[in-house]
């Protein structure tokens, strides 16, 4: 039925082409394709494909970043129309994200934020250099399902442990799951501090978020 359009949408994400993706999103609306269908049948398969390619080492971080940007551009065009129609993308879960206090690394966390949003999560990005208590307060305020804590320095990894402890203190565990990530972070470290998951890269973080919520 609109197979050609869906293929073009998928390709715009694979190519990491935000302008082309938003043009195709507008065209989809002109053709009467439901916005939700455009996202699920057109754009999401592109993101899934590039994620698999990234895991296999066929494409690299810049490609993943651009695919995320293209996805964001497409969703930005389709979202107002979904609101108008009262159709909502099913929200898979609410995620509070941030880089811990003392650490100002942005890129990994921002990519995780983009890909989680594109995959259907509602993301509350606290930014960088985030105080430990702020993670817990925000998680309580928005009734988060998951808190994602990034650290790119060995010196700030300790802050991830402190976030788990803060969530404990606030009585939010084990309901609120914790995912940790960042260059020096390992699966062993995640287990040691009592986190629920470890995202080796942005696509892994999305996969873990999904599996933690059994979606």
Q: pLDDT above 70 covers what percent of the chain?
A: 99
Q: Average per-residue pLDDT in the chain?
A: 91
Contact 106, 65 (CB under 8 A): no
State how far the Cα of 106 lies from the Cα of 83, in Å rounded to an integer: 30
In this structure, what token pair is assigned to residue 132?
A: 């430990």
Asked if residue 110 has pLDDT above 70, the reply is yes
pTM value?
0.74
Q: Which residues, including other chains, have CB under 8 Å from residue 189's CB and lie 6 or more apart?
A: 157, 160, 180, 198
| pLDDT tens per residue, range 154-186 | 999 999 999 999 999 999 999 999 999 988 999
Residue 88 pLDDT greater than 80, yes or no: no
pLDDT above 90 coverage of the chain, percent: 63
Q: Would you mind telling me the total number of residues written for the chain in this entry?
A: 215
Spell out the domains of the chain, with CATH numbers in brackets. 3-85 (1.10.1240.10), 94-212 (3.40.50.280)
pLDDT, residue 111, reads 80
pLDDT, tens digit, for every residue of 10-57?
999 999 999 999 999 999 999 999 998 998 899 989 988 988 888 788
> Are 159 and 170 spatial neighbours (Cβ–Cβ below 8 Å)?
no
- pLDDT for res 215: 52
> Within 13 Å, how many C-alpha atoms sit on residue 40's CB side?
10
The string of pLDDT tens digits covering residues 143-156 is 999 999 999 889 99
**Rg of the chain's alpha carbons, rounded to an integer?**
18
What pLDDT band is residue 64 in, cutting at 50, 70 and 90? Answer: confident
């Amino acid at each position: 039925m609109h197979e050609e359009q869906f293929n073009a949408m998928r390709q715009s994400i694979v190519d990491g082409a935000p302008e082309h993706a938003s043009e195709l999103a507008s065209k989809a609306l002109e053709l009467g394709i439901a916005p939700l269908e455009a996202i699920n049948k057109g754009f999401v398969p592109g993101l899934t494909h590039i994620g698999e390619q990234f895991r296999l080492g066929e494409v690299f971080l810049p490609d993943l970043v651009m695919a995320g940007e293209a996805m964001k551009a497409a969703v930005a065009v389709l979202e107002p129309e979904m609101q108008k129609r009262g159709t909502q993308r099913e929200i898979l879960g609410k995620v509070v994200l941030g880089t811990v206090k003392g650490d100002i690394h942005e890129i990994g966390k921002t990519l995780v934020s983009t890909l989680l949003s594109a995959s259907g999560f509602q993301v509350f990005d606290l930014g960088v250099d985030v105080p430990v208590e702020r993670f817990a307060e925000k998680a309580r305020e928005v009734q988060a399902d998951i808190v994602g804590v990034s650290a790119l320095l060995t010196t700030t990894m300790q802050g991830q442990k402190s976030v788990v402890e803060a969530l404990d203190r606030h009585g939010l565990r084990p309901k609120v799951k914790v995912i940790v990530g960042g260059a020096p972070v390992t699966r062993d470290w995640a287990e040691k501090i009592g986190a629920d998951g470890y995202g080796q890269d942005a696509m892994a973080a999305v996969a873990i978020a999904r599996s933690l919520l059994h979606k």
